[in-house]
Structure 1
Amino acid sequence: MAILLTSCSGGTEPATPTTSAAASGPRVPSPLPTDGLLNDPCKVLTAAEAAQVGLAYPGRPINETSPSCSFRSSGNPLNSISIGAVPQNPHGISDIYDQEAQSAYFEPVSISGYPGALADTHDGRPSGNCQLWVGVTDELAVSIIPQISAGPNKTDPCGLAQKFAAAMIGHLKAPS
């Protein structure tokens, strides 16, 4: 199962993989709190944070096996970004790196210092879809998937995913 959210470009650089005992992907520098991601992923952004990345608030829960949420674009209701925690991957982002050979595209990225990868088994980027995976702990990866039907972000859905991920990380790092 793949769930991806994307954001605008900027703030990303290639990740430097390091080897963990359990898997071959990069390690998370400092684990983020994940209770909110697992219990109510629609609260990974405040209304103000959602507005900064062009999204309507609140998001709506998606009824799937993993905790997930969809945020609509504030400018075009046909555009959205979905986010989901993927606890089925017990080694977090390392599990995504281990699946590189099965990916239609795979690009390591770093989002606010956290390891990630633009990767999916189908390349929907020309159609406005992109999948971004971000390691928030060494045991949990988050999938961010923009689905952009129209507008300027259609040509760079991966950049939008990265912008959303940076906002999410900032929110999770903020003191509660």
Structure 2
Amino acid sequence: MLRGKTGISAALVCMAMLAVAGCTQTSGGGTPSPSSGAPATGNTASSARPSTAGGANTAPAITNPLDVSKFMADPCLSITSAQAAKLTISSQGQRLNVDIGEACDWKYGTNLEFDVGVSYIIPEGGNGLQNLYNQKAAGQYDQGYFEPTTIDGYPAVYEEGSDNRPKGQCSLSVGINEQTFITVLNNGSGNVCGGTEKIASAVVETIKRG
């Protein structure tokens, strides 16, 4: 479903503009915990996220970079039908046209009331996940969260400029190569970040297969 500047599109604009100015994201809906087999919800766009100058060069190295050109051209290829069935989300994703690029959205829930979205982001500086570390050094996450982790051997960060996890929103970015990272932005409830991790892991698995 295409949406306007509220809901999904508003969240995408906030994510893209994080390095320029603070942006508070709102959320709603629900997200099953990983044990339920359903993911967290959210949407992001394939677009350049502005780069913030400065910051220590602290992003972990990516020892096995992946080619994501196929998936940047069509983000809906990021989750296979078999993965979708296992994750209990809709089998076919729907591309979203928003101001800052392209996104793919999958629905789930008893009434298909929730969403999960995936994006591929190349910052203007072409520095991949390092751009988020630069943003952290510049104080962009002082009112939010920035928690490094790994997804299937790839460096990742749970990150948002405002901490909306109590409201059911969680964002996870994963470095795929030195220029690109993927982001899963979720809106829901329950173990929202646990669901985010499951989706991110499925996407990395798909990219590895090519």
TM range (shorter): 0.7 to 0.9
Which residue number corresponds to residue 96 of structure 2?
Answer: 62
In the alignment, which of 144, 147, 155 is matched to residue 184 of structure 2? 144
Structure with larger Rg: 2
Distance 1:58 1:73 in 2: 11
> Are residues 76 and 30 of structure 1, via their aligned partners in 2, closer, same or farther at CA, if it must alter by over 3 Å?
farther
In the alignment, which of 107, 128, 134 is matched to residue 147 of structure 2? 107
In the alignment, which of 43, 47, 53 is matched to residue 77 of structure 2? 43
How far is the alpha carbon of 1:60 from its aligned partner?
Answer: 0.9
Q: Is the 8 A contact 1:111 1:166 kept in 2?
A: yes
How far is the alpha carbon of 1:9 from its aligned partner?
Answer: 5.9
Alignment-mate amino acid for residue 145 of structure 2:
Y
Q: Is the 8 A contact 2:78 2:203 kept in 1?
A: yes
Q: Is the 8 A contact 2:171 2:185 kept in 1?
A: yes
Distance 2:129 2:101 in 1: 16
Q: Tell me the alpha carbon deviations over residues 121-159 of structure 1, each in whole angstroms, 9 at most, x when there is no partner.
A: 1111111111100011110011101122xxxxx221111
Q: Tell me the alpha carbon deviations over residues 68-95 of structure 1, each in whole angstroms, 9 at most, x when there is no partner.
A: 2111115442211111111235111111
> Are residues 29 and 66 of structure 1, via their aligned partners in 2, closer, same or farther at CA, if it must alter by over 3 Å?
farther
Alignment-mate amino acid for residue 39 of structure 1:
A
Alignment map for 1:9-158 (pairs within 5 Å): 23-64=57-98, 65-89=100-124, 90-100=126-136, 101-103=139-141, 104-148=144-188, 154-158=189-193
Distance 1:137 1:115 in 2: 10
**Structure 2: gaps (5+ residues):** 1-12, 17-30, 36-55
Moved over 2 A (4+): 6-10, 64-67
Alignment-mate amino acid for residue 102 of structure 1:
Q
| Residue identity (%) | 27
**TM-score w.r.t. length of structure 2:** 0.68
Alignment-mate amino acid for residue 63 of structure 1:
N
> Are residues 115 and 96 of structure 1, via their aligned partners in 2, closer, same or farther at CA, if it must alter by over 3 Å?
same
RMSD: 2.3
Alignment-mate amino acid for residue 157 of structure 1:
V
Residues matched between the structures, number: 157
Q: Is the 8 A contact 1:131 1:161 kept in 2?
A: yes
Distance 2:86 2:150 in 1: 20
Alignment-mate amino acid for residue 193 of structure 2:
C
Q: Is the 8 A contact 2:123 2:179 kept in 1?
A: no
> Are residues 73 and 120 of structure 1, via their aligned partners in 2, closer, same or farther at CA, if it must alter by over 3 Å?
same
**TM-score w.r.t. length of structure 1:** 0.80
Distance 2:86 2:131 in 1: 31
Counterpart secondary structure, 2:205: helix
> Are residues 74 and 147 of structure 1, via their aligned partners in 2, closer, same or farther at CA, if it must alter by over 3 Å?
same
